[in-house]
Each structure stands twice: as C-alpha cells, then as structure tokens.
Amino acid sequence: MSGGDGLVLGIDMGTSGARAVAMDEAGNVASSGAAKLGAFSEDHRDPIGWWKAVQAALLEALAAIDPVRVRAISIDGTSGTMLPVAADGEPLAAPLMYNDPVGDPAIVDRIAAHAPLESAAHGATSGLARLLAFQLYPGVFRVVHQADWLAGHLTGLYDVTDENNALKTGYDPVQRCWPDWLARTGARVELLPDVQPAGAPIATISPAAADAFGLPRDTVVVAGTTDGCASFLATGADGPGDGVSALGTTLTVKMLSDRPLFAPEFGLYSHRIGDMWLAGGASNTGGAVLAAHFSAERIGELSAEIDPATATGLDFYPLTRPGERFPIADPALMPRMTPRPADDAEFLKAILEGIAAVESLAYQRLASLGSPPLRTVRSVGGGAGNRAWTAIRARKLRVPFLPPRSEEAAAGTARLALSGAKQAGVL
C-alpha cells in the first residue's frame, strides 16, 4: 500500500495517561486522542490500566480519520519502566516504574562491579537492576520495557525492544549489542529482548489488533523510544547542533550530535537515533527557583517591567539548595543569588539572567565533550512562554530560536513511525 494520503500513528504512554497522534507524510498532525490513566486504574503500576488508556487514546484519534489510511504505528513509554512477562505477554509481577528503586543493595553493587563507568545501567533505578530482580520469578519469558509490552499487544511479540529503552538496561549503543559484561553481573541475558533501532520496522500488526482498531492488516509496527526522546523528536529538531531547552521545574538541555557523548560525572549519556546521537543533561536550576520567590502571577507582572536588552551586571547561579548536576558536577555547589536588588523586577531579571547563563554553559559543556556547536534552539516547558526570559536567553546563546513543531511526545513517536513506514516501503 502506498500513495500520498497515508497516515501514521504515534502513541505516548506517560506517567498520568496516554496520548495518540495521527500524522501525515508532511509531518502535520491529522488528529489526536488522550486518555487519563486514572479513568481505568487507581494504580499507575497496573499494566492493564496502561493498555486501556492506550486503547482509548488510539480510538479517539482514529475516530477523526479514516483508519484505512494508516500505514504504521509506534509507541513510546517511560524510560526504565519494566515488567517480567510470560510468553503470551501476561505480567508475572507488578512493574517497577521509572523512579522505583530496586530494594536489594547487592544488585546495585553487582552492577557497579562490572558495568563500565559510562554505562547508563548504574543505580537502583536502572533497567538492569530491574532485570536482576525480576529474573527470579518462575516462568519468566522476558523482562521487557513498558513500550515493548504495549507494542506486543499490537504484534503478539513480547521479545523486541528499541535502542533507547534498552540503554538503561545495559545495551551498548556504540557496538549495537548487549555487552558481554552483563552476564558477569548474574543477569540471565536470555531474558533480554532483541533490540532494534528506534524507528525500525518490527513486524506487521497482528490480525486481532488490526480488526480491533479497524486498521489495515498490513500496518507496520515500528520500534519506539522513551518518552524523553519522543518529546525531543516532537519539536522538529533533526540535525547536528539542534538543541532543545526544557524550561520546567528544572532546566534540561538536549542536543543532536554526530558522535556519542558519555560523561558519567555529569550523568550524561547518549541515545542513538538513526545516524545521530541525542545527548543532554539536567541542571538543578530552573522554575523551582522562580517559584521559591514569586507566584506565577507576580512573575508575569514583573516580567512586563523587564528590559531584556540590558544586563543587571549581577552574576547569579540560581539554586534552591546547595548541589548541582550539570553543567557543573558539584553536590556542594552553593546558590549564588546576592546581592539582592531592592526592586523585585530587577531581582527577577537577575534570576532569569542566571538561569540563561547556566543554559549557555550547559551547551558549552556539551561542545567541550565533543558535540557540534549549538546551531539552533527550540524551547519547551512553562518558561518558554515568557517573552522577557526568551529575549535574555537569545542574547546569551546567540543562535536562532525556532518554534517547536509540537510539545506532544506522541508527535515525536509518530515521526519515528514515519521513518519506519518509509523503510518498509509503505509510504
């Protein structure tokens, strides 16, 4: 099936619910759907609730289009969320979510003894720690990631994952394999799913799933990604040097690079997406500092009084408490927010300048670690709508600021589905 009227579907399974986006070949959103997880389960660890939310979001998106036009579908999930399953996909235990630590410290020690420093598999919340905990369950067929399990409902296959979800489980994205050291941790490597590149065709949809959603039986299911990678892809960033700054409670910067970057001292590692690498880091500065001093309404009022073309001359490093992760790795780094101007607008301006300086330093840090120079910036999160802050940031970064195509992670996953559909020759 081919032609210019084809559509693809992207699904995002987030912490609070599911979203689905139908996208045309030009990258335009044709329809969307959403479902709150709480409508189906009071337990966010309930896989049946995940699937019901996905079904509801998908059906809502499909109701506004002709399902016969759909060529491919892809799903993202929360990074590191995993569960043990039987061969038919039946969960054998409650999942461990992305932020659930494994309780046995011996597991963390075993990983630390064998994993390379640059591996993302370290720590009690890593995918590998979950594998080591879940592999003890009788009858386990595979230990899979959230996105793998949901995609399995579309294909009937519960033994396939993608390179991005596999990263925290110990996958080596440079050599593109499960490394030999995994077995030395005591991991049962035969329980690991097969790994495909994000955006690669996995299989055609199962007849049962096709009929349930009214989709063509030759619809291609495409390897997905993590929710964080999907959010980046949604913005439209697609070339080396394209950066995305998330201005939320904390400041997160991500950039596409033509080479992998690994710096464990900064918690920095790289996801492989196509022929490029997505690297980034998270600072402790950001909106939480603003909220500690001003209400959202007051920030709006004061921002209107700020002249972003001039500088305060103050050198703030805004933090709510001591400690920083990136672009400076120092658990004892002290906040620097004095002297405080008597004028509230000037104080707010100094904080915004300080966060912008940290953002600039973050991109410089990526460049010092081997990334290309920053080429463009797209901004997402609550702070992106503050015009004064945007002007201050643009003055600091001195690159074009481009509007994100979307802030919906599902749109990023749909872009992977587009890639997979083209690889499979169905678009």
How many Cβ atoms sit within 10 Å of the Cβ of residue 265? Answer: 10
pLDDT of residue 3: 45
d(CA 52, CA 44): 12
Whether the per-residue pLDDT at 66 is higher than 50: the answer is yes
Q: What is the mean pLDDT of the chain?
A: 96
How many structural domains is the chain composed of? 2
The verdict on residue 363 lying in a domain is yes
Q: Based on the domain organization, do 105 and 210 belong to the same domain? A: yes
pLDDT of residue 267: 87
The verdict on residue 366 lying in a domain is yes
Whether the per-residue pLDDT at 427 is higher than 70: the answer is yes
Q: Based on the domain organization, do 213 and 317 belong to the same domain? A: no
Q: Based on the domain organization, do 154 and 268 belong to the same domain? A: no
Which tens digits make up the pLDDT trace of 375-410? Answer: 999 999 999 999 999 999 999 999 999 999 999 999
Average pLDDT over residues 96-114: 95
CATH number at residue 166: 3.30.420.40
pLDDT of residue 385: 95
Average pLDDT over residues 84-112: 96
Q: Based on the domain organization, do 123 and 139 belong to the same domain? A: yes
Q: Based on the domain organization, do 366 and 414 belong to the same domain? A: no
Range of the domain at 39: 7-229+409-424
Q: Based on the domain organization, do 420 and 274 belong to the same domain? A: no
d(CA 53, CA 151): 14
pLDDT of residue 54: 98
Q: Which residues contact 62 (CB under 8 A, 6 or more apart)?
A: 9, 22, 31, 33, 70, 213, 214, 215
How many Cβ atoms sit within 10 Å of the Cβ of residue 363? Answer: 23
Whether the per-residue pLDDT at 1 is higher than 60: the answer is no
Q: Based on the domain organization, do 178 and 44 belong to the same domain? A: yes
The verdict on residue 372 lying in a domain is yes
Average pLDDT over residues 310-337: 97
pLDDT of residue 4: 62
| pTM of the model as a whole | 0.94
The verdict on residue 2 lying in a domain is no
Which tens digits make up the pLDDT trace of 20-40? Answer: 999 999 999 999 999 999 999
Whether the per-residue pLDDT at 180 is higher than 90: the answer is yes
The verdict on residue 1 lying in a domain is no
Average pLDDT over residues 213-234: 97
pLDDT of residue 38: 95
Q: Based on the domain organization, do 360 and 342 belong to the same domain? A: yes
Which tens digits make up the pLDDT trace of 43-62? Answer: 999 999 999 999 999 999 99
pLDDT of residue 2: 41
Q: Based on the domain organization, do 281 and 309 belong to the same domain? A: yes
299 to each of 230, 294, 329, 342, 407, how far by Cα in Å?
A: 30, 6, 29, 16, 23
Q: Based on the domain organization, do 160 and 307 belong to the same domain? A: no
Query: What type of residue sits at position 392?
Result: I
pLDDT of residue 424: 97
Q: Based on the domain organization, do 308 and 183 belong to the same domain? A: no
pLDDT of residue 253: 97
Whether the per-residue pLDDT at 241 is higher than 60: the answer is yes
Average pLDDT over residues 357-366: 97
d(CA 116, CA 113): 9
